[in-house]
Structures are given as C-alpha cells and as structure tokens.
Structure 1
Amino acid sequence: MISNLRKAVRLPHRRRVVDLSHPARSPLGSAVVNCVVYLDGVRQIGHCPAAEAIEQVRSCGNGFVWIGLHEPSQQEFAGVAELFGLHPLAVEDAVDAHQRPKLERYDDTLFTVFKTVRYVEHAELTSTSEVVDTGEIMVFTGPDFVVTVRHGRHGSLGPLREDLETVPEQLAKGPSAVLHAIADHVVDDYLAVADALQNDIDDVETDVFASRRGGADTGRIYQLKRELLELKRAVAPLDRPLQTLSALPVPGQSLPGVDPDIRAYFRDVADHLARVTEQITAFDDLLNSILQANLAQVTVAQNEDMRRISAWVAIIAVPTMVCGVYGMNFDHMPELRWTYGYPLVLGVIVTACVVIHRGFRRNGWL
C-alpha cells in the first residue's frame, strides 16, 4: 500500500533527521524508541522532550507527535498518559499487554490493539515446534498525537516509519494515516505467515499419504492446529475494528480523528484481513481432513495386523488340536499302535496348515 503511494508522489528534499528521543533528554526512560514531530507530513529536526514536542505541534495547529515505546513499565508510561490525557483503563491494557485485538474510544482518543505475528523458521516440523510467534502493538491516536506501545520480540515499526516519511502527503492527513499504516503492516504479516503455514501443511499432507501405516505424524498435525489457532486468535477479532474504521461516518457516531480519505484505505486492509480469515478456515478444515486420514490409516493398519495374527492363530490351531487329541492317555485310541500312524499324523498336520495358509494368502490376510 505504502509502496504504491510512494510511486504516485514526488518526494520532497529530505533534510538530516535527528532523533527527538535521546535518552539524556527524554522523561520516558529506556522504553522510548522514538519521539518525532511531523508538520504538514514532514519530519522535523532537532531535540526536544515530549512535552515541548506536543506544545510545538499545538502552537502550529497542523501537525502531530508520534511517540514509540517498547514494553514500558507503569512508571515509564505514567508521564505519557498524563501528558496526553489517556484513559486509565487503556493505559492499564497498554502496559500489561495480553489483550485481544480491539478498538475503543475514549472521548477524542482512539485506542487500538493489534496482535503481531511472526513465522518461526525451523529445519523440521516436530510435535513441539514453535511455528507462530505473537506480540502486540497498542496505538493511541488523538487529534495531534500518536502513541505506539509494542510488546514482543518482533513487529518493529522503524521501517514502517521510514516508508511513511517518503509519502508526506499521506502523513499530512494526520494520526489516522499512521493508524492505517500500522494496520496494513500487521495484516501484511498475517498474509506472509499464512503463506508459510501453507508450506508446512503441504509437507505434512505429503508425509501422511506417503506412509501406509500413519500414526507418526499425529503429533505434528496437532502442533500445526495449535499454531493455527494462535494465528486465528490474532486475526479473527480484528475484523470488527477494521469494519468500524472503514465504515462511512454516521451523524453523531463518527470516530474522532479519522480522515475521510483514509477510510477507503482501511477498507482495503479489511479485504486483506478477510482473505487471511478464509485461508485460516480452509487450513483448519484441511488439517481436520489430514488428521482423519491419518487416523484412518492407523485403523486400517491395526485391522491388517489383527487379520495376520488371526490367520496365524488359525494355522497353529490345527497341530495344536491334533496333538491335543493324541496327547490323551486312553488305552483304546485309533491308530495308536499302527506303525505308520506318526508319519500319517504329521502329514495331515502339514497338509492342513499349507491349505489354510494358501487360503489366507489368497484372501489377502497374509
């Protein structure tokens, strides 16, 4: 999305950019990643703390501040919450993390939660392999500020920020442009992870149908289903927030700070999310079918084993029966004193066993 916008816009001359969030000058502590002022979509140079940055924006009346933090503590985030008047409930969610994707409105501030995902590379899929790693991005958007809080080992917004800065016309639309870019970035990661999961599912499917007995891949299939569920928990709840952000404004119910031109971009992100949701549903159905096929192979293999065992038991039953009869200690038994009685009994046993064995082989039991 951002790359398309970049092609359509002539880029202005870029000045040297200096980070506003130098640790020695920032009251936000080590959690701060960046603190930048944008005026008319152009990143401003210089050093200043967050309070001065927001004062500069409000004095100009046409820009916003973007503050990025990574896993801040309650104490580190308290200053930001007080500076921008963030609601205590949203602040608690942002610090504690482990939230479902959602969109909440507090007066003129929107609080949006995104689940980030990353595909974990692995040489071989096992029953304990981690396939999907998740994190979170919380976004506070107001009339003149954006505060992003990131949790997890991935999902860095640095490259996204750089891409946005190449399209100042988009950034000039305000904090909602940043919110859209983050949503687009997160959903693009969903698509990439879904495509990677497709390869794992194809490999498991090939292995299951290549094996005649099955059973060995059951743990891998369950692991894939667990990881797919992790992805589903990140994707499915995001549908409603995106639908809300992309919906046409209703008098008295419009969202604050969402530029009308940005709503069309949110609809595009919602379409991509719908594609991921459909893929996840298809993957889940496919894994269920693969699991059923694998269990069916196990059942068939067990039935074949039982038939072989039963066939050999039937064959062994013949000499057992004959030897059991002639092992009885009666004085008057047929052919008991006959010279050729022993060879005859052995011949009968061997002949009967051969006939039964051939019959079982003909019927596929052996």
Structure 2
Amino acid sequence: MNKKVKIYIALFIAIVVLLIYADATKVKPISWFPSYVAKHKMPYGTYVLRKELPSFLSNSTIKDINAAPYVFLQDSTVNGTYFFVDGGINFGEDEFNELLKFVERGNDVFLSTNGSQIDTLGLKTSSLSTLELNEKHYVSLLNPAFSDKKYSFDRPMPRIYFEEIDTINTTALGKITMFDKDSVALKSGVNFIKHKFGKGNFYINTFPLAFTNYNILHQKNDAYVASVLSYLDPEKPILWDAYYKTGKDKITSPLNYILNSKSLKWAYYIALIGVLFFVFFKGKREQRDIPIITPLKNQTLAFTRTISNMYYEKSQHQKIANQKINYFLVWVRSKMNIPTDVLNQSFYKHLASRSNNTEEDTEKVFKKIAQIQQLNTVSKEQLIALNSLIETYKSKTQ
C-alpha cells in the first residue's frame, strides 16, 4: 500500500467521523406533521389522548380498530362508541351508510375532523375569518357548567364551524369565538354538536388538533378534552379508529425504517461512501489503455488459389479434377444433407428435389464424374467441361 492510498483512506475515515459527529450534535427539528397516530409522540400525534383515554372514560373498555369501518361494521353485533380523530376523514357512501346503521341501532359515533362527508346529516361547514390582523380564537362549551371556561391555543389552526345544522335533530354543544387584540368578540360559530339519529347519536367536533399531544399538554387544555369527552356514554365501549389516520403507524418501506434509525442510517451512509471509494480506487488501479489488436485475415481463399494455380501451371488436370469432384461431394453431404455412399436412381431423384435441378441433369453430372474418375489422364478441355457442369448445377440451388 503506497503513501497516496494511505492518505485517501485517512481522509475517508476523517470525513465519516466528522459527519457522524455533526449529525449527533445537531438539534433534531420538531416535526409538526399532523399524524393523529396513537403511537406518535410528536406534537400532533395522539399518544397522550390514547394513553389517558381510560382516565377520561373510566368505565369504558377501549379497543383499537385497524380495519376500515365498512369492513369492521359488517358484524351487526358490534356496539359502543366509534371514536374518530383525524385532520380529514372522507367516508365512502356505502361506508357512511354502515355508520348510520350502527348509530341507528343505539350506538354512538364521535367524529373530530376538519372536514368530512356529512351532507347526509344536513350539516354544512365553513371557515371563520375576520379582517383583524392580531385576532385570537378561543373554544368553549355551551353547557352552563362549562360556559365560563374558554380555552386558547397558541398555534395557527383551522377555524371550522357549522354554517348549517339540522335544528330538529341537532344540539349545539360548543363554539369557537374570534376576538380582537382588545378581547372584543368579533365572530363566533358552533364547532361541536350532538346529532340524534335513530336510537344513537353523532358527536361531531371540528377541532381535531385539540386532541393532539401538544394541545392537551399546553396550558392545561386537557380540561377542554375532558369536558368534550364527558358527553360520551361512559358505559359504552370505545372503538378507537386506527385506520383513518393522516400519518402511518407502520413502516411503509425498508429504506424509511433505516433512515429513521440513527445507527442504521449512518451504517447505510458509510456503506454507500465505502462503495464509492471502492469504485474510485479499484477503477483507477485496474483500468489501463486497451491496445487495438488487428484481427488476423482469413487466408483460406488465398491459400486455395495458390494451390490451384500450382496444380494448373504444372498441368496436373487430373488432380484438380479429383479435388473438384471431392469438393462437390462434400457440398452434397453438407449443404444438401444427403449421403453419397450409394449413387443410384433414388439418390439422383432425392438430390434433384433438394437442389432445384432435374433428375436428368443430376444423373448427367454424376455420369460425367464417373467418366473422369476412370481416365488415367485428363485434358484441359475435359477439366473445363467438368467444372462448368458442376458450377452450373450448383448455381441452380441458389
């Protein structure tokens, strides 16, 4: 190993160490992605809510549902409160019909989302907005027991309220109110309702971020969550929806799993850098100029011509004739695929059909060959006649 290679290896190790140190010491940015997944401890996960749900609803059993509601509710014996929390939930028509049947039997559905397909219930939502630059918003409950409590949230959030409700079957339970910088109320709208359907109820809240980790732990806003959940029947089992979530609680790809683990991530990066160094050094070491080698010329034809001219100049017509006959027989065996052991009428007929010649021409050629083979000497004219006859015969096959 020469000095130059050692320097490169030392440089490689130094770079890897510096990268690992930089990654280990940097502050990991907080992810504000609204996942709503019960396993996520990020600000907008629902780890705290899922963990504390038994304390909010002390008499209820809690079951995680990982299947779509349409599939899960095929079992008509299921009962309880189906609990949905996510940024946006869009049920299919058939799926929502299953939820309607579920509620109609005397069960409940708690749905906290910014938007959903709820036209079937005669509900229409909109966004609350004002012209105030430094506006603040608070949420509160309309029950007299909670009416004196307002809950604020310090991060920008959707301010969805119910623009239209079915007043016959719907009860307003909570609202959102916009205030100016002097704490003067500007606008307000209902954001939490109870909708009666059959023997059960829909509880619909348009502020799902209130149920996330950050907002439950911030400024004791867990009291708001507890107040909202107090409307649910504590005797009914809670069916926690783990299917409709913006985030994913499972690894979706091997690479995603590797990059989300610090140790595996750096092992992966080191392996990639090592491969690049290997390709660079290996290629530099072994790659050489490839000399151009001129291929050998095929001298078979020139050799044949030389031998034939030697025979011809020495007037050895008989040897040339025999060679011509031998080459012709080889041609019959190799090109026409016909053995030349027995030369009879059947052979002439078979060869004629294969070579596109007449049976008479075939017999004529082989009679000429037999005649030449019986002679002790062959003249120039006889050799030319034999060659002409054979070449004419062969040309018809082409």
Q: TM-score range by the shorter chain?
A: under 0.3
Larger fraction in helix: 1
Greater relative contact order structure (CA < 8 Å, 6+ sep): 2
When the two structures are superposed, what TM-score results if normalisation uses the length of structure 2? 0.23
When the two structures are superposed, what TM-score results if normalisation uses the length of structure 1? 0.24
